[in-house]
Chains A and B, each alone.
Chain A
Amino acid sequence: TQLLEQSPQFLSIQEGENLTVYCNSSSVFSSLQWYRQEPGEGPVLLVTVVTGGEVKKLKRLTFQFGDARKDSSLHITAAQTGDTGLYLCAALSGTYKYIFGTGTRLKVLA
Chain B
Amino acid sequence: AQSVAQPEDQVNVAEGNPLTVKCTYSVSGNPYLFWYVQYPNRGLQFLLKYITGDNLVKGSYGFEAEFNKSQTSFHLKKPSALVSDSALYFCAVRDIINDYKLSFGAGTTVTVRA
Co-assembled chains A and B: no
Residues in B lying within 8 Å of A, measured CB to CB:
none
